[in-house]
Amino acid sequence: MDFIFIEDMRAIAWVGVFDREKAAPQMLQIDLTFGVPDAAAENDDIADTIGYDAVINRIRAELEKSRFNLLETLGEHIVKLMFDEFKAPWVKISIAKAGIMKDVKRVGVFIERGRDKPT
């Protein structure tokens, strides 16, 4: 399996349980790696892969319209989106909030999932 990665994507999202987090959206840092069909490299054809531009635009659109209490729920939401809409066979994501607490650079979540049955 081949993989595409998106590193240090910045996106604005409504996520958090504290009043200060609910008062305004926050900047998130997202790293995403996902499996792509071997046919992409074999055929050298964009139609055989998952376009990272489409993934980035779709995630940003989803974050504009959704609110989450937990980063874990947000991460699972993106994993489901990758499986359902992009048919990725495997997804790894990390999502972090920067500067959320004094003397802490980032806090976040890391999720890795594979499909039970490829489609």
Domains of the chain: which residue ranges? 2-114
Q: Output the tens digit of pLDDT for each of the chain's 119 residues.
A: 899 999 999 999 999 998 888 899 999 999 999 999 888 888 888 889 999 999 999 999 999 999 999 999 999 999 999 999 999 999 999 999 987 888 888 899 999 999 875 44
Topology of domain 2-114 in CATH is GTP Cyclohydrolase I, domain 2 (3.30.1130)
Q: How far apart are CA 119 and CA 114, in angstroms?
A: 12
Per-residue CA distances from 71 to 46, 97, 104 (Å): 32, 9, 17
How high is the pLDDT of residue 117? 55
The pLDDT score that the predictor gives to residue 102 is 85
Give whole-number Cα distances, 40 to 30, 50, 68, 116, in Å: 24, 9, 34, 22
- Report the predicted TM-score, pTM, of the whole model to 2 decimal places: 0.90
